[in-house]
Amino acid sequence: MKWAKHGVVWRPDGRLPWARTHATCPTPHRRADGALRLFVQCRDDRGVGRIGWVDVDPGDPRRVLRAATKPVLDVGEPGCFDDNGVFPTSVVRLDDGRLYLYYVGFELCHHIRYRLLSGVAVSVDDGDTFCRLRPTPVLERSVQELHFRCAPFVVRARGAFRMWYVAGSRWEAVGGKDMPVYDVRYLESADGLTWPGQGQPVLAMDPMREHGLGRPFVVATAKGFRMHYSIRQREPARYRLGLARSSDGQQWQRADAELSLDAEPGQWDALAMSYSCEVTLPGAGTWLLYNGNDFGVDGFGAARLLEC
């Protein structure tokens, strides 16, 4: 694959108390009015994240049309799994027009640094507002997946909801700091709300070089499926982007070298690249939207596909 980078598309201007910094994990949704809405996590002065959105021109996703002035999903109630931050990972439209927003809740802990579980919120106005379906996770802790059941990417296909997500149960010291260990797994659900307690591992990391594979984003193509995901490296300790291919969405082969998109010294993504999503826009081509340094502290950027 060959890409042309186009730099940062949007970052908060710092004027809103809930959105001082960051535009983490761009998550696309095509609205009924034709706009491409990108749900993102923005952070307040304490680093706590809430979900807002940015609408961009579907004819040129580098052109911002408007941005949210208030969050569409705030943090959860004290003591809930999402009381210290939320960020989006996928949006699914139902037959009745409602939207399911799958999101990750951030919970601080005492004996481990944090726990990441997944929730669902619903919208009846095409993504202008969302309401939690329940205060508990849709992916709750299980014996097999104890600390992380997160980053769900969900589609409706084959009469079911199909999910690729991140799961793990342990931590490991990397560079003197406890870091999470997790990989990518697969689940199916009849209703998008009730999921098994353990998924099928579909994408494994290299434990000598990596300690985590995060935020899967799956695209169906004429040749099968491709998955974009984030790789947590050991040395240097930073994120980079990965690519995998599959004929059925369950058996995957890593093809990271084929992506051909890497950090550039001195740029906004010099130290890290993560949380990518791929969108194909009629008349505008295929684009990868992603975060750079520090989980999107400088916003999200775009690269256009020149050659597949």
- What average pLDDT does range 175-182 have in this prediction? 94
Domains of the chain with bracketed CATH? 2-307 (2.120.10.10)
Return contacts of 261-269, CB within 8 angstroms, 24+ apart.
261/1, 261/3, 261/5, 261/288, 261/303, 263/238, 263/292, 264/5, 267/7, 267/292, 268/7, 268/8, 268/292, 268/293, 268/298, 268/299, 268/301, 269/293, 269/301
* pLDDT of res. 308: 84
Task: Read off the pLDDT of residues 35-45 as tens digits, 9 standing for 90 and up.
Answer: 999 999 999 99
**pLDDT for res 53:** 98
pTM of the model: 0.97
Q: With bands split at pLDDT 50, 70 and 90, how would you rate the model's confidence at 187?
A: very high
pLDDT surpasses 90 at 158: no
- The pLDDT mean for the chain works out to 97
Separation between Cα atoms, residue 147 and residue 182, nearest integer Å: 9
Residues in the chain: 308
pLDDT above 90: residue 138: yes
Question: What mean pLDDT comes out for the span 92-118?
Answer: 97
Percent of the chain with pLDDT strictly greater than 90:
96
